[in-house]
Amino acid sequence: MYDATDLYREFDGERLPPGQRQTDGFPVLSKGEAPAVDREDWTFEVWGAVDDQLSLSFDEFTDLPSETQRQDFHCVTGWSRFDNAFTGVTFPTVMEAAGVHDDAVHVMFHAADGYTTNLPLDDCDRRELLFTWDLDGKPLPADHGGPVRVVTPHKYAYKGAKWVTGVEFLTEPERGYWEKRGYSTSANPWQEERYA
C-alpha cells in the first residue's frame, strides 16, 4: 500500500494542519441530499482539451490500473481523519488514458448532484489525487460519495467531488460551486486557505 500520510512535509507543516482537530469518525457534509447513483448506471466521462474523450462504465473504470493508498483527509470545517485506506485510479492514470493537450491548465470536476470544483492541472497531476470507490476495504458508502469520489489529501476535501461523474480539462481557469461562493481556489490546509 502506498503511504501518502507524510505529504505534509512537502508543505512545511505538521501532520495535523492548523485549525484542525483529529477525529476517528467520518462526518458527512454535502451541499444537499445525496443523489441516487447506482454502480450499474454510473458513467465516468473525460472531455475538453484531450486527445480522446472517455466515457467509461463502472466496470471499465475500475479495470484501469488502480492502487490502494493510505491518506489523511482534511475537511474545511475543521476536522481531519488520519490513515484512510482508499482504493482507486490515480489522476495521472486518467490523464494518460485521455491524452491531455499541452494547452490544458485547469481541471473542473463534475458530480452527479451538479456539484463542481476546480483545481490547476499542476495540483491534480500527482499520484495522491485519487478517484476512489473503496474505503478501508469496503465499497465507498453513498453518503461519502459512492460509487466514486475524488480524494485530495493535499487540499481541503471540498476539492474532492463526491459522486464524481467526469473531469473537464480547461485551457482557462473557471471556478466551481464553492469557489463561486467565496471558498479558496487553492485550499491549502497548511496555510489555512479556507476562504478567498
Spatial contact of 152 and 129, defined as CB atoms under 8 Å apart: yes
pLDDT in tens, 85-114: 999 999 999 999 999 999 999 999 999 999
**Overall number of domains in the chain:** 1
Range of the domain at 103: 42-191
pLDDT score, position 15: 98
Instruction: Report, as an integer, the average pLDDT of 138-147.
Output: 93
Residue 18 covered by a domain = no
The CATH number of the domain holding residue 108 is 3.90.420.10
- What does pTM read for this prediction? 0.95
Share of the chain above pLDDT 90, in %: 90
Write the DSSP string, 68-121. Answer: EEEEEEE-TTSEEEEEEEEEEEEHHHHHHHHTB-TT--EEEEEETTS-EEEEEH
Instruction: Give a yes or no: residue 19 inside a domain.
Output: no
Measured distance CA(82)–CA(183) in Å, rounded: 23
3-state secondary structure of 164: strand
The CA-based angle 129-17-193, given to 5 degrees, is 75
130/80 Cα distance (integer angstroms): 18
Output the average pLDDT for the chain: 95
**31 within domain boundaries:** no
Q: Does a structural domain hold residue 5?
A: no
Query: Is residue 53 domain-resident?
Result: yes
Judge whether 24 lies within some domain: no
pLDDT band at 194 (very low <50, low <70, confident <90, very high): very high
pLDDT at 106: 97
Predicted local confidence at residue 31, as pLDDT: 60
In angstroms, what CA-CA distances link 135 with 51, 131, 166? 32, 11, 20
Q: Tell whether 60 is covered by a domain.
A: yes
* pLDDT, mean of residues 167-177: 97
* 5-61 tens-digit pLDDT: 999 999 999 999 999 999 997 767 656 677 888 899 999 999 999 999 999 999 999
Residue 78, domain member (yes or no): yes
How many residues does this entry show for the chain? 196
Look up residue 88 and give its three cell numbers: 482507486
- Report d(CA 95, CA 50) in Å as an integer: 8
